[in-house]
Amino acid sequence: MINKYYDTDCNLSMLDGKTVAVIGFGSQGHAHSENLAESGVNVVVGLRKGSGHWAKAAAFAETCPNFKVMEVEEAAKAGDIVMMLVPDEMAADVYNKQVAPHMTEGKTLAFAHGFNIHFQAVQPPKNVDVIMIAPKGPGHTVRSQYVQGKGVPSLIAIHQDYTGKAKETALAYASGIGAGRAGILETTFREETETDLFGEQAVLCGGVCELIMAGFDTLVEAGYAPEMAYFETCHEMKLIVDLINEGGLAKMRYSVSNTAEYGDYRTGKRIITEETRQEMKKILGEIQDGTFASEFLTEMSPTGGRRTHFLAQRRVAAGHAIEKVGTELRKMMSWLKK
Ligand code: NDP
Ligand code: MG
């Protein structure tokens, strides 16, 4: 079983007198930096000049004396621990140009996702620690839970332990963002990266979106109203997923009607067939052998694929009938955020 840690296992005071540089102030960046600062850690946020997030970070700095905003390079220089919270496809470029020159002996380089280290897009020097602290939730939850005195369970991993204190640093950082209140689980860069990519491709994003669209198309092609198809194959997904999230598959099956539960057992295996499971194994193989990482980094590179295929696919997907009918129906739902 995986090792689990709580605040009592963490020594936050090991960060006393040190500075954490958080590069980026997006979803994760704002949560990590604000939580750490309110936990008493010295924080500098590194942003590019003209960043859309600069004003928001500067406003927080007004409320907190141990929190400063500066340009990426200056922050990387100031930080004893440098946490990279820029989009994964940008990290290598930002690291090589603005962070690497300041990764001097004994510093710590940190990530919230293992991708760039595991696939060697970022190659840190041998004389620094390399760690991961990855909350299992979006930044706004990491922040809102912290403010309520709670936390989001988070993963830690050690890629390189030069100082002999890499794990203590990871635990202290995790505690500083509130994770020790909920639980800290120890994994490896490889395990986190490969399971994360597999989950989002095969199940959460790729799997779910295609499942919804296939169900919608089947009903519409059979002559049913697109509005009905939308309600039954897309809108109600949240109800089911919330129940699973709260109490596992059993709670969902307990809450739906016996008719729905019987249909679930009867039909599920005809949708996710042995062939689907074989394909999942192939997809996992392409993640493990770097095929996906190399394809993704090439496609997203400003000098390589220039996002051509990525943006074209986004445009095609946005044109699907389910998006049009969904836009209209969601206008009738006053509780949804605009
Ligand atoms: P966001 O897209 O929300 O934030 C990106 C930040 O990076 C912005 O502040 C942006 O600045 C900055 N940035 C982008 N490009 C550059 C650049 N060239 N130079 C300097 N700054 C730049 O990212 P996320 O918070 O979603 O992701 C950060 C990391 O956290 C990733 O490794 C991700 O995998 C991981 N993660 C994300 C989770 C999530 O729920 N989102 C959950 C767990 C891990 P600007 O203001 O200038 O646009
Ligand atoms: Mg994930």
Segment 171-192, tens digit of pLDDT: 999 999 999 999 999 999 999 9
Cβ of 28 closer than 6 Å to ligand 1, yes or no, is yes
CA of 194 to the centre of ligand 2 (A): 10
Cβ of 30 closer than 6 Å to ligand 1, yes or no, is no
Q: Compute the average pLDDT of residues 23-34.
A: 98
CB 170 within 8 A of CB 132: yes
CA of 197 to the centre of ligand 2 (A): 7
Q: Note the pLDDT of residue 84.
A: 98
Q: Which ligand has its closest atom nearest to the C-alpha of 112? A: 1
Minimum CA distance residue for ligand 1 atom 19: 48
Segment 238-256, tens digit of pLDDT: 999 999 999 999 999 999 9
Segment 129-147, tens digit of pLDDT: 999 999 999 999 999 999 9
Q: Note the pLDDT of residue 1.
A: 86
Cβ of 27 closer than 6 Å to ligand 1, yes or no, is yes
Q: Which long-range contacts (CB under 8 A, 24 or more apart) does 49-58 make?
A: 51/25, 53/25, 53/26, 53/29, 54/25, 56/25, 56/30, 57/25, 57/30, 57/33
Minimum CA distance residue for ligand 1 atom 36: 112
Residue 165, pLDDT > 90, answer: yes
Mean pLDDT for the chain overall:
97
Q: Note the pLDDT of residue 225.
A: 98
Cβ of 25 closer than 6 Å to ligand 1, yes or no, is yes
CA of 54 to the centre of ligand 2 (A): 27
Residue 338, pLDDT > 80, answer: no
Q: How confident is the model at residue 121 (pLDDT cuts 50, 70, 90)?
A: very high
Cβ of 138 closer than 6 Å to ligand 1, yes or no, is yes
Cβ of 86 closer than 6 Å to ligand 1, yes or no, is yes
Q: Note the pLDDT of residue 211.
A: 98
Number of CB atoms found within 10 A of residue 326's CB: 18
Q: Note the pLDDT of residue 135.
A: 97
Among this protein's residues, is 140 annotated catalytic?
no
CB 170 within 8 A of CB 131: yes
Q: pTM value? A: 0.94
Q: Compute the average pLDDT of residues 67-92.
A: 97
Q: Which atom of ligand 1 is nearest to the CA of 72?
A: 20
Segment 316-334, tens digit of pLDDT: 999 999 999 999 999 999 9
Tell me the percentage of the chain whose pLDDT exceeds 70: 100
Q: Note the pLDDT of residue 174.
A: 98
CA of 190 to the centre of ligand 2 (A): 13
What Rg, from alpha-carbon coordinates, does the chain have? 22
Instruction: Using a CB cutoff of 5 Å, list residues around ligand 2, an ion.
Output: 196
Q: Compute the average pLDDT of residues 90-100.
A: 97
Segment 267-315, tens digit of pLDDT: 999 999 999 999 999 999 999 999 999 999 999 999 999 999 999 999 9
Q: Note the pLDDT of residue 337.
A: 82
Which among 30, 32, 113, 159 is annotated as catalytic? 113
State how far the alpha carbon of 248 is from the alpha carbons of 108, 126, 252, 253, 267, in Å. 38, 43, 7, 9, 19
* 81-84 vs 154-160, strand pairing mode: unpaired
CA of 19 to the centre of ligand 1 (A): 20
